[in-house]
Amino acid sequence: MRKRIQFHNRKESTMTFIAKDIEWDIDMDEIYEKIDNMRVDTAAVTLGINKDTYANMTTEERHDFIYDTYHHNRKSADELFNLPETIEIPEEFGITDTEDDMSDVTDWISDEYGFCIKGYAVEEKVA
């Protein structure tokens, strides 16, 4: 006689939620500080200009150039700080729907990455 085996711990597909299209709240002063603290050659490469050109700029000229480079190009600012565009929301937040209250998630993202966020979309994915 064959014994019937039951699988009690069979894992059903779970819903995974992600924060996407994150709009980070990066202040221009934070960008200035980040680049000002770089070595001249690293800052020049980051800005895509010649090292000698950057080295011979005044602080005001450097900041004008940085402003022109990053003010309207938020994606580049995100990359400067290595900030992700998409983040998986941990299960412990108990999110069950994209319309759930995300205030704890928002606080967690800010704490985790060190920057406030202006907004993001939530999307569910079946794992």
Q: Is the pTM of this model over 0.85?
A: no
- State the chain's mean pLDDT as an integer: 87
pLDDT average, residue stretch 12-26: 84
| Segments of the chain assigned E as strands | 15-24, 87-89, 117-126
Question: Highest-confidence range of 3-12, 33-42, 73-82, by mean pLDDT?
Answer: 33-42
**pLDDT score of 7 more than 70:** no
Tell me the two tokens of residue 118. Answer: 């202006």
**What is the rounded distance in angstroms from the CA atom of residue 26 to the CA atom of residue 109?**
14
Residue 6 or 46, more confident = 46
